[in-house]
Chains A and B, each alone.
Chain A
């Protein structure tokens, strides 16, 4: 079974700072990788996903993530954060073609951007 580890549970940054949220997964086979965001009081939204191809994936709202297969990592980055980026961020993985197709989530990172 796969598992996902998000290194930082709480991150506080000032506006315009650069962001990197760590995500590592454990699974020996091919995986699909996702980052979701949950703004306060809202439902989960997909930021970006990686299935195959270019390991640098660009998502919505200026976010990007890089898949490094050798490190089993899929870190999320944004060069300059805004106050509106305050939210909970979840890394998730699934194994395509597996029996469940369900997502395995990390425990989340609560990001607070101070104006």
Chain B
């Protein structure tokens, strides 16, 4: 079945460490997105990529970085510069033919 795989489901890191969240899709979608979900805040866009080797900052990009070397993969790195990294992170992709978004099951990052 086609879909988005995010791994791991739960991630714990010490403060000051960088951590990379994985997002893989086998839907052949060009566009991919990273969102951060906090209680009472909804989902906020961190970074997006419309095509391989291209990515753009979203609304809350500070302290994050991404790469898009392959169509299937859009990893997100949470750097030590991110002031409040503990959150639930969701990856998504877009089928431009149907304007249908597919979401992954998310990674819950806890920084201690």
Contacts and interface: CB of A to CB of B under 8 A. Distances in A.
B89 to A, nearest CB: 12
A102 B40 contact: no
Contacts, number: 52
B90 A105 contact: no
A100 to B, nearest CB: 6
B99 A102 contact: no
A83 interface: no
Given A90-B43, A105-B43, A46 B100 contact: yes
A107 B48 contact: no
B45 A9 contact: no
A43 B40 contact: no
Interface of B is mostly: strand
B99 A32 contact: yes
A12 interface: no
B33 interface: yes
A54 interface: no
Contact of B42 (A32, A102, A106): A106
Contacts of A108: 40, 42
Contacts of A105: 35, 42-44
14 contacts: A43-B90, A43-B106, A44-B103, A49-B99, A100-B45, A100-B50, A101-B31, A101-B48, A101-B96, A103-B33, A103-B45, A103-B92, A105-B44, A108-B42
Interface of A: 4, 6, 9, 32, 34, 42-44, 46, 49, 51, 90, 92, 96, 99-108
Interface of B: 31, 33, 35, 40-45, 48, 50, 56, 58, 90, 92, 94, 96, 99-101, 103-106
